[in-house]
Amino acid sequence: YALDQVQGLSLLLVPGRATPAVHQAMLRYCEVDRGGTAFAVLDPPAGQSATGIVTYVASTAALEGASEFGALYWPRVKVLNPSKSVFGAADQLVVAPSGIVAGVFARTDSARPGGVYDPPAGIDAGRMFGVLGFETDEVLEERKRDLVYPHRINPLTTGPGLPRFIDGS
């Protein structure tokens, strides 16, 4: 409840803490405690396949139908390692996507007056900068994305000749 004092809070992210308890608390906070004036950007747990993330949302975390004031984005994304002295010798890191997704929200919202009513998704509006790839290539398969859509999971994807983008709003 430390955020109760923040007047302009509109997005809530908790990177690196993708657990059922955290997700439920984020949704409750946005819908009940903030009166629906904030939106939770939920990260997937690490290592989730398409069927795994569906099981997480439908059963493990019981997120299906829990709230209209949050959305889960899958999978985690690969980015350049900003500091090998801090994060190790790997050239790339797999990280939670919420920070990048929040950047897409901000870019879409500020693109024009009334931009907050435009979905931050699609090849143009949902383009994610700095993303080199995805934790799982399953998201590149249409049939795998078709598994997650009915469960209100927003896949992050790309295609031949396309940028990496949020595919789902």
Strands 153-157 and 165-166: antiparallel
pLDDT of residue 169: 67
CB 157 within 8 A of CB 139: yes
**Tens digits of residue pLDDT in 125-164:** 899 999 999 999 999 999 999 999 999 999 999 999 999 9
What CA–CA distance (Å, rounded) separates 44 from 67?
17
**Tens digits of residue pLDDT in 24-33:** 999 999 999 9
**Tens digits of residue pLDDT in 39-50:** 999 999 999 999
Read off the pTM. Answer: 0.92
Q: Measured at the alpha carbon of residue 87, what is the angle toward residues 72 and 24, in degrees to the nearest 5? A: 25
